[in-house]
Amino acid sequence: MDLELSPRYIEFRDECRTWLHENRPTEEFSSMDSAAGFEQHRGWERTLFEGSWSVPAWPAAYGGRDCDLIEWLIYEEEYWLSGVPGRVSANGVSLLAPTVFNFGTKAQQDYFLPRMASGEQIWAQGWSEPEAGSDLAGIKTTAVRDGDDYVVNGQKTWCSRGKYADWIFCIVRTDPTAERHAGLSYLLVPADAPGMTRRTIQRLDGESGFAEIFFDDCRVSADHVLGEPGQGWAVAMAAAGSERGLNLRSPGRFMAAAERLRRLAAELGETADGLDARLRDEVVDAWIRAEAYRWQTYFVTAELMAGGDLGSEASLMKVFWSEMDLELHATALRLLGDEAEVPSDWLDGYVFALGGPIYAGTNEIQRNIIAERVLGLPRR
């Protein structure tokens, strides 16, 4: 065990910190779910790419730096501490890319990965349907082979970035005679495909959040199936592991948020007659939880680097970070007291965090997975 950063990692951290400091955008960014904000964020993706910082963990051939997992965690810590804008490309880079590396053909990798890295193609996720949320295997959207194409019909919903994304990765039913987990395929759909329409769904705070996508005899090249036809469930589950675990929400994000919360509490503690003891306890708890997530991640990372597999343990991480994030922001609002209802970054963060226990597989589903696959409790 050695919990110091070696000189190589310190050098990496400093390089990363310096670059982010020097390239940090000076202008205010609009929401990435508005038309203008989306393009602003795309520009930031381009800047990152030009500095080779958009996908540091990828091979250099695709725009990365071949970073190991420790370097990637350091990068994430620095990224979020620096206060630069969020990643509009997260769906592609975090959720789709690992499966393109695992399941994609060489041609798919060569086409999609560089464009994903540069922000030229920004991706949305097309998994959920009106009748298939947590019960993902219940999806009904069909894709029927017709010559060199698939003809897609159906509806996807709750697609983050779905309104403005350039491409959508979907799970579709390619074998109508198969049921549930069988007969599904992972289909990559360009947003300009004829027969696709998209509609924004407002979030509960009135901001445009996600989209619903309608497919009406939408034609997609059969070259855009990721993995084998019929293998869609396996591809999706591999992606879900990334989504719940390391790739989607690295510790750096929460460490930065916990540090902001600490500063907020320290400032309020100086202006008011000291902090309320219970609120102080909550602030400290949030800070400890961010550290716990950080060290659990480093612990898991050491196992992964030794050839281990994250597997169902990703569900433990997903429940933990989503509930930590929500509690952290709820504490911030309690600190703000009467001002909590007035729009602020903390209120935005709270509304965003409210979604955490719902998206990427609800925490109820995750707890079932923990109980059945980690603890081995009987399914029936």
Partner 1 sequence: MHFSFTEEHDMFRDTVREVFAGECSAEAIRTSWESDDGRVPGLWATLAEVGVLATMAPTEAGGLGMDEVASVRLLEEAGYAGVPEPLMEHMAVAVPALAVAGASELLDPALSGGSTVTLALASGGPNVVAAASADLVIAEHSESLVAVDAEALTVTPKDSIDQSRRLFEISFDPDAAHPLAGADVALAADRAALGTAAQCVGVARRLLDTTVEYVTERRQFGKPVGTYQAVKHHLANVRLGIEFSAPLVYRAAWSVAHCDDSVLRGRDVSMAKAMASDAVDRACRAALQCHGAIGYTFEYDLQIWLKRGWSLSGAYGDARQHRDRVADALGLLP
Given candidates 99, 141, 301, 322, which one binds partner 1 under the rule CB under 8 A?
A: 301
Looking at 134-142, 151-159, 171-179, 314-322, which segment touches partner 1 (CB under 8 A)?
Answer: 314-322
Q: Does 120 bind partner 1 (CB under 8 A)?
A: no
Distance CA 313, CA 296 (A): 11
Interface mask toward partner 1 for 6-25; x: CB under 8 A: x--x----------------
Tokens 């009135």 appear where?
206
Question: Catalytic annotation on 291?
Answer: no
Q: Does 312 bind partner 1 (CB under 8 A)?
A: no
Q: Report yes or no: 322 and 362 within 8 Å, Cβ to Cβ.
A: no
CA angle, 135 then 176 then 180, to 5°: 25
Given candidates 19, 29, 298, 352, which one binds partner 1 under the rule CB under 8 A?
A: 298
Distance CA 204, CA 372 (A): 33
Q: Exactly one of 243, 270, 303, 372 is catalytic; which is it?
A: 243
Q: Does 5 bind partner 1 (CB under 8 A)?
A: yes
Q: Does 285 bind partner 1 (CB under 8 A)?
A: yes
Of residues 21 and 367, the one with the C-beta less far from partner 1: 367
Backbone dihedral angles phi then psi of residue 338, each to the nearest 5 degrees: -60, -25
Q: Does 254 bind partner 1 (CB under 8 A)?
A: no
Backbone dihedral angles phi then psi of residue 213, each to the nearest 5 degrees: -125, 130
Structure tokens at 201: 């769904």
Burial class (CB in 10 A: 0-12, 13-18, 19+), 242: buried
Cα dihedral angle (311, 315, 318, 319), rounded to 10 degrees?
-160
Q: Does 378 bind partner 1 (CB under 8 A)?
A: yes
Q: Does 80 bind partner 1 (CB under 8 A)?
A: no
Of residues 138 and 308, the one with the C-beta less far from partner 1: 308
Looking at 164-172, 195-203, 313-321, 326-334, which segment touches partner 1 (CB under 8 A)?
Answer: 313-321
Q: Does 61 bind partner 1 (CB under 8 A)?
A: no
What type of residue sits at position 137? Answer: A
Of residues 70 and 222, the one with the C-beta less far from partner 1: 70
Q: Is 370 helix (H, G, I), strand (E, B) or coil?
A: helix
Residues linked to residue 151 through DSSP beta bridges, in sequence order = 144, 219
Shortest distance (Å) from residue 58 CB to partner 1: 21
Q: Does 336 bind partner 1 (CB under 8 A)?
A: no
Q: Does 289 bind partner 1 (CB under 8 A)?
A: yes
Distance CA 25, CA 83 (A): 10
Q: Does 3 bind partner 1 (CB under 8 A)?
A: yes
Integer angstrom CA distances of residue 368 from 318, 323, 380: 13, 16, 12
Residues linked to residue 208 through DSSP beta bridges, in sequence order = 202
Terminus-to-terminus CA distance in the chain, angstroms? 41
Looking at 30-38, 58-66, 189-197, 273-281, which segment touches partner 1 (CB under 8 A)?
Answer: 273-281
Given candidates 43, 86, 114, 269, which one binds partner 1 under the rule CB under 8 A?
A: 269
Given candidates 11, 135, 303, 341, which one binds partner 1 under the rule CB under 8 A?
A: 303
Residues with Cβ < 8 Å from 145, sequence gap 6 or more? 174, 222, 229
Shortest distance (Å) from residue 366 CB to partner 1: 8
Interface with partner 1 (CB under 8 A), residue total: 51
Q: Does 58 bind partner 1 (CB under 8 A)?
A: no
Looking at 104-112, 230-238, 291-299, 351-359, which segment touches partner 1 (CB under 8 A)?
Answer: 291-299
Q: Does 193 bind partner 1 (CB under 8 A)?
A: no
Structure tokens at 346: 């903390």
Run of H or E including 153? strand 149-160
Q: Report yes or no: 49 and 118 within 8 Å, Cβ to Cβ.
A: yes
Run of H or E including 242? helix 232-244
Given candidates 35, 36, 237, 374, which one binds partner 1 under the rule CB under 8 A?
A: 374
What are the catalytic residues?
A: 243
Chain residues binding partner 1 by CB under 8 A are: 1-6, 9, 70, 262, 265-266, 269, 274-275, 280-281, 283-285, 287-289, 291-293, 295-296, 298-299, 301-303, 306, 313, 316, 319-320, 364, 366-368, 370-372, 374-380
